[in-house]
Amino acid sequence: MKPDIYLLIIDDDSQRKEIGEIERGLKGSHNVHSFNLRTSAPEFRIEGSNDADFEKIKIGITKLFNEVGHFHLVLTDFRLNASFDGLDVVEFLRKNWDTVPIMLYSGLISDVVKRILNTTASQLNKEQIVSAISELFNYHIVDCVSRLDYVKKAINYLRKDREISFRTTLICLLYGHGDIVFNSCFPEFKGKKFREIAEIIERKSDQRSDEWTKAMLEQTLAYLVKINE
């Protein structure tokens, strides 16, 4: 049985062609569920303007996460709008879903470097480049790649994790049954919805989540032993 993969691409242009390439590239190993948030879409515009409203973009991203639950990879273009860019998107994602894998792509990687250094200089020295790379690491992204390469890079990244981790699978299952209320063997989480527990595990917001996961594994093992008798 092929594992399910949930993919989100954020760009000001439609990425339908690129999504098709990614889905075909993973067809033999994964079931790919792709979503494309187009930041230039009418529903994201500032009232009375053709410019995008970043607050509406954030609401759109949040809505997708609430509907899907967990993405195995989020890709975002760097050049999105005059008032915000891909790094702003990354910062928003990190603030709310700090473990989601993110890949940033750009037509000119030098634009990303200049944005980080807050400079418009046409030439950058080695020290500036090293400083920008170090700063980029702080965003905890999977990779920063050329726009021309992002499809191949995304396929390679998703292929290398052919067996989705137990943690990721658990989070996806919990989100998939998010409205069920937990009333079982771990009193500390009794009364919480599965969606709430998934958010706790994903965001690492409660140290007891490891204890809860261990308790669920023990229950699963006990069940497997029982039906094997």
CA distance 116 to 109: 11
| Residue 32 buriedness (CB in 10 A; 0-12 / 13-18 / 19+) | buried
Q: Which residue reads 């706790």 in tokens?
A: 200
CA 75 to chain centre: 8
pLDDT by residue for the chain (229 residues), tens digit each?
677 889 999 999 999 999 999 999 998 888 899 999 999 999 999 988 888 999 999 999 999 998 888 899 999 999 998 889 999 999 999 988 888 899 999 987 777 777 776 766 666 666 766 666 667 767 788 888 889 999 999 999 988 754 456 666 677 777 777 788 888 778 888 888 888 887 787 777 777 888 887 877 777 777 677 776 6
* Other Cβ atoms within 10 Å of 65 Cβ, number: 20
Do residues 78 and 104 touch, judged by C-beta distance below 8 A? yes
Do residues 44 and 60 touch, judged by C-beta distance below 8 A? yes
Report residue 44 as tokens.
């994201």
C-beta contacts of 114-120 below 8 A and 24+ residues apart: 115/78, 115/85, 115/87, 116/87
**Whole-prediction pTM value?**
0.72
Which residues face 45 on adjacent strands? 52
State the Cα angle at 101 between 98 and 102, rounded to 5°.
100
Alpha helices in 161-193 (DSSP H): 166-176
Do residues 154 and 185 touch, judged by C-beta distance below 8 A? no
